[in-house]
Every structure is written in structure tokens, then in C-alpha cells.
Structure 1
């Protein structure tokens, strides 16, 4: 039975990447990881010491580089209810090896918070990046966002929702481009109104029951001229709602005169779309490096 993007439980994803993580200890790992940096002040009333943190991966010698490297902020998936930056160390290391400063973040999960709070967390992480990334060798004028699955939907909000950023310390949108890796949640308004797949009720946990919130947290309704460029990578065997909403997003971009690069990877299912990022020469990195100018 075909479901939406009923993402694999975190335990399954952990099992799928265990070999990848183990291999990290026996292969060359160029670059430097700065771990568990708080992007929200510890004095904030809602500070979460486990979720309001991020890791920065810098190429070797980045701090001494005069111009600064391009920056990619990566947001993990997990149905808005699971996931951790610690699963995706391979992405940070692969980006750093190829001349990109990577920021891999945690954010609070549902329950007890909902997607609006998660989007605010991501915006806070982006604001931290703008202010601080120069100390890690990154160029604050060249910041890009990237996400897989639910993280793709959150990354799309950072690229499109200027009001969200303004509420969280960014009066101007600093995002220079968005890389969507099999993104989920681009149009939760349409999806939750239809409720046509078994198990769809689970998404009311992170999104709530108010259709106005579903629409507000769907980046497809925030498309407007002047946005940063988007780049899509969609699995040829992914969930139909992911390919469908991504295709509609692409079409709306074309209508406003901002056609997006849109690549379908034949035979790829949803989870392998992120696992392939372990290999530094895969097509996503190849095209990402062109976008960011690494």
C-alpha cells in the first residue's frame, strides 16, 4: 500500500547508516568538526541543550582563508518527530573535503513542539550562521540551505519565508540558494486536506489540526519573484506525494520566471536519496558545488 512519505522509523535509518558511520573511522577525514555549538542562548526560556545545537565542518586551514568558503546549512529529516545531526556526520565531512563549510543542525522535535517552532529553530540556526560563520572560515554572503525529507520542507521555508526570518533575527533573507533532496512537506495544506493514505493521521502530531497552520508551513504558497534559486533531486521510486509536490513547486517557480534545476534519479527510493551523500562524487554534490561556487 502506497503511503505519503511515511518515513522509515529512526531505528531503521540508524541501521541503514551503521556501516557508513563505522567507515568514518577508517577513512581519511579532512577538515575540522566543531561539535555541539549552541545557536540559541542558554538563558532563553525555551533553550533545549540537546536540540538547540549544531556542528560546523570546516575545510583544513579554513580559518586562515582570506575570502571565506561557501556555506551549506543542512537540515535532517525524520517526519518532524525524529532525527539527529549526529547521523549525518558524513555529509558535513564530505562537504568540508570539497571546499564547503557545512553547518549541520538539530532542532526540536514533535511532540512537544510543532512545525512552526521547528521552523523558528531553523531560522535561529541560520541567524547564528550569518553572525558567526566567518570565525569558521565561511563566507556569510554565500550561505545556502539544504535538506532531506522533512528537512527539505524546513529548508524551503528558510528560502521563501522572509517573515519567518524577520521574526527570528534576520531582517534580510541571507539564503543564496536551496538544495532539495527528496523534500517532504512542501505542500502540507493539500496533503492533509486529502488524507488519502493510510497513516496520514500521524502528521497531525507535528502540524496540528488547523488548516491555516498547514498552509502557513507549506513553502509552495510563499513562492514569489526574487527568491533564491532552487535545485531539486527526486528519487525515481520515492513516495508519490514527494514527487508530486516537488513537481508542482517546480512548475510554480517556472511561472514566476525562476525555472529550477530538477533531476530525477532513476531507481532511487526515499532513504537512499540521503544515504548516497556518503559518496563525495555523487551527482548531488557535483551539482551543489556548481551552485555554491566551491
Structure 2
């Protein structure tokens, strides 16, 4: 009884904090997209016939007079929040940050657990990706230069999407993504939970884990997976387990950039994913940020977060050939003073 109350209160605190922080940060004068040479197109439906807010995406694109004419390389961004909370609206800084560096960003919402359990979220991600590939050109996007990016639960989802794009699978939604024929140039899954099943493994590894963190991990697994059944298994909920099997892909697996803080309770998942990609011969770069917690890079006013963004763009410069930075902009990729985008 006490444990259940503690978990509910903890979940409400997390949700309220990140939603409030995102709204407050948006009031800062420097949060205005045009200040950074960016245009924001909100609430574009990606599922025909659906009126659900979960089936909307935002487009963040460079202004031609500030960043030159497109087509621009694409970042397909999927927000985190333990599969249970948050949305594209809480993660506006991510869209602004990438667009400011010459990418066009398609930042999506998706159905949340526990009302919509696995595989609803990855189903929506695949649907949004298929919509994006069919419509990117009219927004100025170049589908030959696509980056998949997300953090936390979003990192799980873009890694699972990378599997759906590289392997011919049985799930109808995965087949829809594979049928686009798009091979991403890079994947940037930050501080990811790459195996949702048996999240207690992290507490077994670290018995002194705080009850607050242990509760959040319990909520993620129970809400997202539930009791099943899972007709096609859990490959696309546990992408690191899939990669550890070492199956040969039908198409190339793109390079991965894996940023994570050394005090992130999910750190072991990033290490496992890097090791699995090494075995498969997939180029990958893992960056560890000393002393940093989960999703630290979202708090863009902090120097460690700015360094993470700089490292991310340095990696993407090698694999994606992005458009030129905004005229007159500094080398710093983040919207200075614009606040935070939550995990």
C-alpha cells in the first residue's frame, strides 16, 4: 500500500516538473524560433483519419533567408518519458536545437502507456516515419540524409525503428517502415533504456539504488509491457537483446552515437548496445559524461549539456553532411538561455 502511494506520488512529481519546466522555459525571449533562424510548424497529423493529439508531429525547419535554401538533412525525433508521459510539446528545445544547426526536424508524439501498451508506441513511430518519408520533400527535407534521434524511451524507440528499417520483420508496422526503403545516415539514441523487460536487473546490479529510481523503472516495465501477450515477441521493446543475437541485416545498420552520463542508472544498457554493435561491425561512438545523471543534455544551460550537443553535431558532421550553420551564429549549437527540454 505504502509502496503504491509512493510510486503514484513520485510519478506525478516527475510529470509535473518536466511539463512545468518546458512551459516556463518557453517564456524566455530566446525561445522564439525566429530568433534562431528557425520556423515552427505545429500539430501536423501523421495518421490519416485520427483526431488524437498523440498522432501529431511538429516540423522545425531552417529559415531560408538565415540558413540558405534546402533541401535540408532530416532529424526524426522521438521524445522520452518512460513511455508514459510527456510529448513533442515538452521537447521543443530538441527540435529548436537541431533546426538551428541546419536540420529539418520532424518531432513526434505517440500513444502512451498504460492506456496504450507495447507495441502501440513503436507502431506510431513507424507510421510517423512512413508519413515523414512521403511528405518530407514538401517541407524541404532530404530523405537521403536522415538521422533518427531520441532520448530515454525515445532512444529505445528510434533504435527499434532502426531495426525495422534494416531487417525484414513480421510486424505489419515494421514492414511499413521497411517498405519506405530509407536507410538512415545515423542514429542518436541518448541515455536509452534498451531492454524494457526485466528492468529489475539494474537494481540487482546496484542494490543500493534509491527507491525513487527503482519505482520509476518498475513503472516503465509494468506500464509499457503489461502482462502481454506479445504475438511477435519483444524484439522491438528490447532492441539491445535483438542486436546481441547478431543477426545479419537485410540493409546496412547506420552508425550510432551513444551519449550517456556516468551516474545514469541506465548506463549499463548503453554499454551493452555499444558492445553488440561492435560485434556486428556497426560504427558507433559512445561518449560518457562524468558525474551526469539521466537526460542531462536536455538542460541546455549547463556546460555538460552543451558539450554533449557539440559532440553530437561533430559526429553528425562526419556522417550526414548537414547544411551550413545559421549566418552569424556561434559555434555553440544550443539555444542559449532557452531553458530545458525534459527527458
Q: TM-score, normalised by structure 1?
A: 0.84
Following superposition, the deviation at residue 271 of structure 1 comes to 3.6
Aligned CA RMSD, in angstroms, stands at 3.0
- Do 1:277 and 1:284's aligned partners in 2 also have CA atoms closer than 8 Å? no
**Which residue in 2 is equivalent to 1:3?**
none
Contact 1:146 1:179 in 2 (8 A): yes
User: What stretches of structure 2 of length at least 5 have no aligned partner?
Assistant: 1-9, 323-343
Does structure 2 retain, via aligned residues, the 8 Å contact 1:179–1:288? Answer: no
- What is residue 175 of structure 1 aligned with on the other side? 184
Shift of 1:280: 6.8
**CA 1:48 to 1:238, structure 2 compared with 1: closer, same or farther past 3 Å?**
farther
Give the direction of change, closer, same or farther, for the CA distance of 1:268–1:15 in structure 2 (3 Å limit).
farther
Q: In the alignment, which of 82, 98, 110 is matched to residue 95 of structure 1? A: 98
Q: 1:288: how far off?
A: 4.8
Shift in Å, 1:252: 0.9
> Which whole-Å CA distance do the structure 2 matches of 1:26 and 1:156 have between them?
28
- Partner in structure 1 of residue 42 of structure 2: 35
Residue 82 of structure 1: CA displacement? 0.5
> What's the CA shift for 1:26?
9.5
Structure with the bigger RCO (C-alpha within 8 Å, sep 6+) is: 2
Contact 1:39 1:124 in 2 (8 A): yes
Q: Which has the larger radius of gyration?
A: 2
Equivalents in 2 of 1:33, 1:121: separation in Å? 22
Give 1:217's aligned residue: 237
Q: Distance in 2 between matches of 1:264 and 1:193?
A: 21
Which has the larger displacement, 204-213 or 118-127?
A: 204-213
**Which residue of structure 1 lines up, in the alignment, with residue 195 of structure 2?**
187
TM-score by length of structure 2 reads 0.73
* In structure 2, distance between residues paired with 1:34 and 1:25: 13
Q: Secondary structure at the match of 1:168?
A: helix
Alpha-carbon offset, residue 189 of structure 1: 3.1
Instruction: Give the Å deviation of 1:98.
Output: 1.1
* Cα deviation 1:94-113 (Å, max 9, x = unaligned): 22221100111000111211
What do residues 58-88 of structure 1 show as CA deviations (whole Å, max 9, x unaligned)? 11129x9776111001111111111111112
Q: Residue 69 in 1 paired to residue 45 in 2?
A: no
Paired residues of 2:110 and 2:125 also in contact (CA < 8 A) = yes
Relative to structure 1, the CA distance from residue 259 to residue 175 in structure 2 (aligned partners, 3 Å threshold; closer, same or farther) is: closer
- Structure 2: distance between partners of 1:284 and 1:194: 27
**Does structure 2 conserve the Cα–Cα contact (< 8 Å) formed by 1:72 and 1:101?**
yes
* Residue in 2 that maps onto 1:262: 286
> Which stretch shifts more, 153-162 or 169-178?
169-178
2:275 alignment partner in structure 1: 251
Partner SS state of residue 183, structure 1: coil
Aligned-partner SS, 2:106: strand
Which residues of 2 match residues 107-256 of structure 1 at below 5 A?
Answer: 107-161=110-164, 162=167, 163=169, 164=171, 166-171=174-179, 172-184=181-193, 186-191=194-199, 196=204, 198-199=214-215, 200-202=217-219, 203-210=221-228, 213-223=233-243, 224-225=247-248, 226-239=252-265, 242-256=266-280
**Any idea what the Cα deviations from partners look like across 1:194-250, whole Å, max 9, x if unmatched?**
8757424422121122486444421113324531111100012211xx110110110
Change (3 A) 1:288 1:90: farther
- 1:54 paired with 2:78, answer no
Q: Please state whether the residue corresponding to 2:299 is helix, strand or coil.
A: helix
Determine helix, strand or coil for the equivalent of 2:188: strand
